[in-house]
Amino acid sequence: MSAHVFSNTGVMLNRSIRHVTRSMDTIITVTIMPIAFMLLFRYVFGGAIQSNTDNYTNYLMPGILLIAIASGISYTGFRLFNDMQSGIFERFHSMPIARSSVLWGHVLTSLVSNAISVVVIIIVGLLMGFRSSAGVLAWLAIAGILILFTLALTWVAMIAGLAASTTDGATAFSYPLIFLPFLSSAFVPTATMPGPVKAFAENQPVTSIVNTLRALLEQQPVGNGIWTAVAWCAGILIVAYLFAMRTYRRKIA
């Protein structure tokens, strides 16, 4: 049975990837905005921001990567919504395939497309002066956290794509997610923020994830922060997955 599910998911992944490659403007759009933010903060605001670091591009990189992923998953919700509206799901369900493979095809496509965006942004960051002393194990940990973060937000996108009644509704959910890094330690230390903003920034998921990624990139001790970051990502992933599957079952019932 598991081999059947994996085979069906592979077919759905191949289908979704073909759609992405035929519309590369989506990946280009996803990467342009985070790169624009990186250029803006590095070359316009960087001189006025006290980040207590000699390389502000290094400081920016974790938050920029999270913004790119939050932006990218909006297209996942958009693609899923279009599939729901086109009636292709009903056609798939009339075939002898695992029903969960339809959603997992979109989820894995999100991982692939966001991985491409992350690589492009890191390359641009290197041209801007980004440098990391992280070893192989640290980079593997960074990749693992980014994958977990992508999966968590992708399943949030699944809920939006399944439940929305319009295209705007399927993508609008991503705007608060893109804005969240601005209320975190992604661009400035939380210590520089006024009281209520600081309290929110220090107790929301992006700050713990950004701090962990930054420590890993700079080969600094991560302490318990890495478990806080993983717990946030895993918690969001589990809750979003359960809600998405519940919504999916209602839709196909």
Q: What is the DSSP letter of 243?
A: H
The DSSP string of 101-148 is HHHHHHHHHHHHHHHHHHHHHHHHHHHTT------HHHHHHHHHHHHH
Structural domain boundaries in the chain: 2-252
Distance CA 140, CA 221 (A): 16
Least Cα distance to 205 among 175, 176, 230 occurs for: 230
pLDDT in tens, the chain (253 residues): 445 556 666 666 666 666 666 666 666 777 888 888 888 888 877 666 666 677 888 999 999 999 999 988 888 888 888 777 776 666 665 655 556 677 788 888 888 888 988 999 999 999 998 999 889 999 999 999 999 999 999 999 888 888 887 877 777 878 888 889 999 998 888 888 898 999 999 999 999 999 999 999 998 988 888 999 999 999 999 999 999 989 888 876 6
Residue 1's pLDDT is 40
CA distances from 174 to 16, 66, 208, 219, 253 (A): 20, 12, 20, 31, 28
Distance CA 168, CA 176 (A): 14
Distance CA 26, CA 48 (A): 33
Is 169 in a helix, a strand, or coil? Answer: helix
Tokens 């809750």 sit at which residue?
Answer: 239
Residue 145's pLDDT is 96
Contact (Cβ atoms closer than 8 angstroms) between residue 116 and residue 27: yes
Residue 43's pLDDT is 82
Residue 127's pLDDT is 92
Tens-place pLDDT, residues 87-134: 666 666 565 555 667 778 888 888 888 898 899 999 999 999 899 988
Tokens 């670091």 sit at which residue?
Answer: 53
109-125 b/e (C-beta count within 10 Å ≥ 16 → b): bbbebbbbbbebbeebb
For the chain, give the mean pLDDT.
83
Residue 46's pLDDT is 64
C-alpha 41: how far from its chain's center? 21
Residue 110's pLDDT is 85
Angular region, 220: left φ>0, alpha ψ -120 to 50, beta rest: beta
CB-side neighbour CA atoms (13 Å) of 160? 22
